[in-house]
Every structure is written in structure tokens, then in C-alpha cells.
Structure 1
């Protein structure tokens, strides 16, 4: 099987529109309409997290400054460890006790960056991340947690930045892909309780999670995110490889076996 054949598995998904790409040091292999713009859903969090990391480097924020419910920090919010609920600013659990996946936490972060930068968070991302990377199809149009849209062509540029950071210090990018608040358990949407549910600063970390959307054979260091719009992006930093897949069908039971099979096939080809 070639990488082209492995990627063609995306075309076999029960979706109307799709596009995907694998990025390696040797170049990019893609399928589908890479210029088509798709809703990203929670893959948005990777873009938003990168903006928050940039704000930290610029001195607008600090990782350990208070933000969110009492006792919470910027770091807690980025790592889904603040106790804040998924879609509200209520905190059903104490800070640092459980990994509660939260879009509301990212909206809190975006508001703080906007306040400090004296511009909307969408504009901050456009000027700080999208324009420098040439991501002309990408837009944050709503919630910093789940309302951006982009194309595979644009996300290929973002993935290249994740593999070889130019907008951030490499040490900051590494920190974002390192487990924060180790040992916390929590639910990965669609995949149930994970013990532990490892997460970095915006980046989900595969760790030993099972079942998982990245498949059964990918390494523990794999980081990324999936979105309920039928989208995902993953990176394996030590191998300098990444994959993006976008579709127009919402995540559901159809996706679980097919995403895993696709990722395992791609990973197998990357070992050749």
C-alpha cells in the first residue's frame, strides 16, 4: 500500500465532501479538494490555543496567572483542568480535580486576550497566526472553542508550523504538547472515560487512551484534536509528520472505526 492508497481511505468515508493531507519531511500527499473550506468544530481549539500561547510569549498573559473560576489559571483553562463545564462557566468540579473538556474555557481565554490586546480575538488570530502563515481561507467566526472554518491547504501550513515553529519559540510549542496536570481522568467526547485523560496546552495527547480516534497503532506522543464536524488534525512531533482530514458529516458512530482504520493505515505507511 502506498501513502496515496492509505489516504484514499478518506474517500471511502460515508461523507459528501472530504479532503485530507499527510505532511512529512519529504513533502505533502493529499486527496480531495484541499481548497474547499470546511467547518472545523473543535479543531478550532488548536488555532485558538496557538493564539493564546502567542499572547503569553508577548507578555499579555502568563500561564499561571488567575483566570476562570477561583483557583484557576490560564494553564488550567488551556488544559481543560479548570473544572469549567463544556458549554457554561459553571464549575461542576473543583479546579484541578478532573479533566472536563470545555469550550466555555476557551471563550474565557479569548476574552482575556482580546481585552489585553485591545482587539477581537478573531483579529488577533488573523494578524498573529493566519496572515503570517498565509492561511487565507481560515476564519474564526464565533466561539474560540468550536467556530472556525478552514481548508486542508491552510491547515497544511499550520501543521508545518507545529512541526517546525517559527511564530512561537520551539520550547513553547513543546510545552503545549506536554502533559499538563498529569493523572487527571476525564471523558474524551464520543470515546468515554479515559484514565488518565492526558492533555497539553490545547493539544490532546494520545497517551494510552483506548478507544481513541487516532487508532490502535499510533504512538503515545501523538497530539492533535478532532472536531464534531467530522474533522481532525494530528501531529507526531518526533517523526515530523502530521495528518489533516476534513469532511462535511458530523462525527458519530460511523467515524470511530473508519478514522481508526485510516490513521492506522497512514501510520503503517509512514513506517516504511
Structure 2
């Protein structure tokens, strides 16, 4: 069961203070029970946070993109093991062995990202221009040889969704994932209220182009990092993989999606987050025995979720049946997500 509200609030305040950030949002839930939300402090502009604050969640977007693919698989429209060439024959990455299964588990041999020189981060950049660059990037390693965490596979997955649905990805994501899960989330769409602003955004760009905080960044509708949602929305994404609500994914496909797709493979992102064995599911990361890690050591090895560089994590522990999402008002650039969010997560699942 969940710790009491006082314990959760104290742990969240400890995390906020240790990370030296102005605010933190925490949402927790046990099994299929309603979520509990704790809100502390303000955003980087000293605007008091609310439970419905819209916050950029960076790579938690990948959970939503993976869910869109899985929904289409459940509908019989897509095959996880078909070669990418079946769906995007003109893609440079459409080589034998490059499949949706491998793309969503970061084991398709793709580069980390599109080349900046091909898609300069400056006014005039749009998702269609980025999509064209995604189609032009070839693999850099043999599919199934390494886990290289990156964005390109999710850009290509979004293009598969567009091709299949006949809709822009942002609209297809709303129809397939956000609306069915009752998530207030926005990808490239105008926001109904100002978003929470983040501190410690490390960029040489002017404020009008700042990652996470600018309208320009939000306009790109990045299928790997562009979603803005509430802390409850972040929690709902990981709970969908845990089977809540029932019926959103078929039990068989959901079980498949949470199976380690990369047994025996080394990988990760960059040091120190590179592991001799790097288990990954179809969308979510699996905890395994990775160290260091932003999920605590007291969760089960088959626990799963995702973290985002904006300062966010959503995680589910099957052993305790507890799901949680933590969103801070400071990006993860200084390492607080590794050092302090893991301790808060340990308290949430009952290990202090």
C-alpha cells in the first residue's frame, strides 16, 4: 500500500530541497485506485504550482508514442516484427532487421538523433522538416547488436502512425492515446493556459528558442520529447502499460510489450548511464540491476517506466503495484533526477 500523505509530502519536500528547485509535483497510485497528487512550491517564474499545471515531460513522450504504435498493433493494422520497409519504404533506415519492435526498444542500430546540420534548431524548423530528416538517416549499427537510446526510432515510429492513420501524428496521438486515457496533454497544439516554466535550461539559444520553455520548442511537436501534460497525465501513461485502465491494451500485447526485448545486450545513453546489460521493453525502460539509475533499487527488476531530461520520471513497480510520477521545476541537467528522485521513489514504494 501507499505511504500516508504526511510521509509522501515530507519525502517530496526533501527531494525539492535537495535538488534546489522551486517546486515539485508528485502523483502516486496503488493498483487501479484513484491517484493521489502532492503539489509543492512554484515554477521557475515563481508562479504557484497547481495539480493541473502543464509541464514539458521531455522523453516521457516516448511512452505515449509507443502506446500509439501498440494500439495500432492491437487493431491489427501494424506488425511489430515487420521490417520498416513495409511501412516506410523510402526511409534510409528501412534495412532488414529494422522493425518497430527494435525501434521502440532502442535496438534497431539507429543513430541517437537527426543530424543538427540537416535540421538546424532555428526559426523555420517544423515537424514536417524534421520528419524528412528522420527519413534520410541510415542505421549506424547492426540491428539487435546494442541498445543505443535515442530519438530517431521514435521519429520514424511517428511517421508510421501518420502513414497508417492518415492523420498528423499529434492528432493521431490524441485519438489513440491521450483522449482514451483521459489525459490532458498537448503535442504541438496551442495550450489553454501558460505552462510551468523550468529552471536550469542549459542552452545557448535566446529565450524565444529555449528548449522546454519556449513556444518555438513546443511548436515542433517532437514525438520523442514534445509532450506537455500534467503530473497526473504522466502517471496515466505508465499506468497504461501496467494495465490501468483495463482494456486499453489487450492483455497479450501488454505482456509482450513489457518483456525484455534486449536480453544480453549492453547499452544505454551516455556515461554513467551505460550498462553491461541494458534491458528494455517496447517503449518503457526496464529497471534490471542498473546502477546508477533514477528508479530506486527497492523496486522489482521488472519494474518499468521512463525519465525525461526536463526533470520528470514515471515508474511502475509490479511487486508493490505502485505507480508514481515525479516532475520537478528544474531540468535534470545537474543530476538531481538520479540522486534525489530515486530516493523519493524509494519512499513511495515503501523502502524509505
Same fold (TM over 0.5): yes
User: Would the aligned equivalents of 1:19 and 1:30 in 2 still touch at CA under 8 Å?
Assistant: yes
Q: Cα distance, 1:39 vs. partner?
A: 0.5
In structure 2, C-alpha distance between the alignment counterparts of 1:190 and 1:8, rounded to whole Å: 29
Matches within 5 A, 1:19-168: 19-25=25-31, 26-32=33-39, 33-67=50-84, 68-71=93-96, 72-88=98-114, 89-136=137-184, 138-141=185-188, 142-163=221-242, 164=244, 165-168=246-249
- Tell me what 1:174 maps to: 255
User: Would the aligned equivalents of 1:54 and 1:168 in 2 still touch at CA under 8 Å?
Assistant: yes
7, 13, 23: which one aligns with 2:12: 7
- Give secondary structure in 1 for the equivalent of 2:35: strand
Q: Cα distance, 1:215 vs. partner?
A: 2.3
Matches within 5 A, 1:178-257: 178-189=259-270, 191-255=272-336, 256-257=338-339
- Partner deviation per Cα, 1:111-130 (whole Å, 9 max, x = no partner): 01111111012111101111
- After superposing the two structures, state which structure 1 stretch, 85-94 or 261-270, moved more: 261-270
- After superposing the two structures, state which structure 1 stretch, 202-211 or 255-264, moved more: 255-264
User: Would the aligned equivalents of 2:58 and 2:226 in 1 still touch at CA under 8 Å?
Assistant: yes
Q: Cα distance, 1:211 vs. partner?
A: 1.0
TM-score by length of 1: 0.91
- Partner deviation per Cα, 1:9-39 (whole Å, 9 max, x = no partner): 3432322332111111454332113210111
- After superposing the two structures, state which structure 1 stretch, 158-167 or 148-157, moved more: 158-167
- Give secondary structure in 2 for the equivalent of 1:252: helix
**Structure 1 189/50 Cα, relative in aligned 2: closer, same or farther at 3 Å?**
farther
**Structure 1 65/225 Cα, relative in aligned 2: closer, same or farther at 3 Å?**
same
Where do 5+ consecutive residues of structure 2 fail to align? 1-5, 40-49, 85-92, 115-136, 189-220
In structure 1, C-alpha distance between the alignment counterparts of 2:146 and 2:335, rounded to whole Å: 29
- Give secondary structure in 2 for the equivalent of 1:239: coil
TM-score by length of 2: 0.72
* Alignment length (residue pairs): 269
In structure 1, C-alpha distance between the alignment counterparts of 2:226 and 2:176, rounded to whole Å: 18
In structure 1, C-alpha distance between the alignment counterparts of 2:236 and 2:274, rounded to whole Å: 33
**Structure 1 8/173 Cα, relative in aligned 2: closer, same or farther at 3 Å?**
farther
- Give secondary structure in 1 for the equivalent of 2:349: helix
- After superposing the two structures, state which structure 1 stretch, 157-166 or 173-182, moved more: 157-166
In structure 1, C-alpha distance between the alignment counterparts of 2:36 and 2:14, rounded to whole Å: 13
